[in-house]
Structure 1
């Protein structure tokens, strides 16, 4: 469901379930630079294009592309576009009200724990087991994951350096390109991500609830 906020500004509901609600918002400095938000559940806001200024109860910060911030439930937030156009996503953890810090806590891949696997995949993991598992993931060039599934968790995948090369295949069948609004994978759904590019691709992965077990490889 897409709601227009102006000719070049809009808000779109990408996904809604019992676990996650995902909003995609585009703001234009020339017509709808200010946008006020207050959500009933704990959330994560990330910027994919442009730069934005955030103000909440006396706290101020700014986010550039590929940076993120935690939001607590019922936290009043004012977003102001600092570039001609800003594109941001808000992932709401439905039912979660455990955060009590009414501040915009900013973070990015460069500030988080980095771990590189023998496969060449790099993870920057944000620890928040109350809400889910949040991490930036960088796939090497021309890399294909083995098929796996998450038994009881949904996963949202958002390409950050989007060029149409990040694809997904279900049960080793036809591969589908993941568009710039990302994709939600339901629990127990077997999948495999593919980087068709000759360069690494980075994406944001949000898994909720936090998986009690690691991913299960599909045999």
Structure 2
């Protein structure tokens, strides 16, 4: 896709990304995606569902209300209430200059980057991530609770419940991330070889690789 500056190329990409992931790659503020003076916006995409073998119509709406701005998604005109049921119907891969900061930024940014890739491959992953975040917030509230607000036995019981839930869901999340990195390892090395000094690569003095390091892996080392 090409066009003059200000022609709307980025707007088209943003619309495609929104209907693929339910989020913008430019802002987290839904109001910013509405044209000035407008109360509503809609992105509609007609596609073909390979799983069902039928054409389908995907739609994302943004509506400004009195106190908030809301987003909703529809498939063939029917409202979809869970993001898990909508996310991944259209697979999109986005790379922007800001993504280079993933290498220098925090580990959480790298985990989120991997999760976005897994989301497009397996819809169940987004549900597991949401459950994990909810369990973690609940556990942190218990830890911050004052002794006067909660008996020690109750605190221990709740923490044990949350720890078991985090371990169960976290194991599934960790496994999918590790599997993704392993599948990317060889293509990554091949792509690196195409853009770097082949003599240095052939001598083995300079190689590129990927590995998922986690405290959950007993064999991992810094």
| TM band (smaller chain) | under 0.3
TM-score by length of 1: 0.27
**Bigger proportion of residues as strand:** 1
TM-score by length of 2: 0.27
User: Which protein, 1 or 2, shows the higher relative CO under an 8 Å CA cutoff with sep ≥ 6?
Assistant: 1
**Bigger proportion of residues as helix:** 2
